[in-house]
């Protein structure tokens, strides 16, 4: 099978028609049989209009597979970007200790601290705080944005043990979920391709993401290192794999739509020459 890496597919220009009729709640009495038949007729028409045949679904699958292979072969060769994540290992369940994460993917960001017990699905404790991002910071400067985030992270860390416990023996490591298009250069670094979801800090485009956050952390004296930079799909895949080792793909359907999956490195033609420390090609993000 060869080594595997994580590939995420951005569903850009690919739309799959799907319509689910969740239910109909009738709040008032239907006064006549004729009115009820009219309601049922509308529902049948909606169901028929949304129906997708198996043959059509197969056509969509085949077309998407072609785009995926083209995206794996060369940069810009497909509507799907098939971006590199440099992730070649997923959680095994043996992880133990306290871990921190920061999630920035929209008008809110979250800070997380979780304690893992060393066995699969063994989450001993978790603490999450959500903060809205002031609208002016979404279009201001990268310094102001990351300083705001670092300030919130500092307050979160200071609450640990109500400030009564001694400082950690080792430097805290932070996982950074950054749900915007990024061209990664390593598992912990990447260059912003463009903003989405209402963000428009033009000076940040083309800049290294982790460096901006790390500078803000260092400025506030936070003894933390950004150890991983991932998209929300990769974070979702990692969590799924932590609970179930058979998990091989993840999909996000929200403000944006994206997906990632495990791919053999020998199938990723455009990653030739990009080696991990263990000699394999780490791959991912779309």
Catalytic positions, written as ranges: 197, 232
188 near 135, Cβ under 8 Å? no
Maximum Cα–Cα distance across the chain: 75
Chain center to CA of 247: 15
- DSSP 8-state class, residue 134: P
Sign of CA dihedral 219, 225, 228, 232: negative
Q: In sequence order, which ranges of the chain are alpha helices (DSSP H)? A: 33-50, 54-73, 142-158, 209-219, 232-243
Would you mind telling me the total number of residues written for the chain in this entry? Answer: 286
Closest listed residue to residue 272, CA positions, set 263, 262, 282: 282
Q: Which residues contact 199 (CB under 8 A, 6 or more apart)?
A: 138, 139, 180
189 near 212, Cβ under 8 Å? no
CA–CA dist 52, 70 (Å, integer): 26
């Amino acid at each position: 099978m060869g080594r595997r890496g994580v590939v995420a597919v951005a569903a850009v220009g690919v739309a799959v028609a799907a319509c689910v009729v969740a239910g109909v709640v009738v709040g008032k009495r239907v006064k006549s049989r004729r009115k009820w038949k009219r309601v049922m007729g509308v529902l049948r028409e909606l169901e028929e209009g949304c129906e997708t045949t198996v043959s059509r679904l197969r056509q969509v699958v085949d077309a998407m597979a072609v785009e995926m292979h083209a995206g794996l072969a060369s940069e810009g060769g497909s509507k799907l970007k098939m971006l590199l994540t440099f992730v070649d290992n997923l959680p095994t369940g043996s992880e133990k200790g306290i871990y921190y994460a920061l999630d920035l993917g929209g008008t809110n960001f979250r800070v997380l601290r979780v304690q893992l017990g060393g066995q699969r699905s063994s989450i001993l404790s978790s603490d999450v705080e959500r903060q809205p991002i002031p609208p002016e910071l979404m279009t201001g400067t990268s310094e102001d944005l990351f300083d705001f985030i670092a300030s919130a992270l500092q307050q979160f860390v200071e609450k640990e043990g109500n400030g009564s416990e001694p400082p950690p023996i080792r430097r805290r490591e932070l996982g950074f979920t950054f749900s915007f298009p990024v061209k990664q250069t390593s598992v912990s670094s990447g260059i912003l391709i463009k903003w989405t979801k209402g963000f428009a800090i033009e000076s940040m485009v083309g800049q290294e993401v982790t460096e901006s956050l790390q500078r803000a952390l260092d400025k506030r004296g936070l003894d933390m290192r950004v150890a991983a930079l991932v998209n929300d799909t990769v974070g979702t895949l990692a969590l799924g794999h932590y609970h179930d080792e058979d998990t091989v793909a993840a999909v996000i359907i929200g403000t944006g739509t994206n997906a990632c999956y495990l791919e053999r490195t020998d199938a990723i033609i455009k990653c030739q020459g990009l080696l991990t420390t263990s000699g394999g090609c780490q791959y991912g993000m779309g």
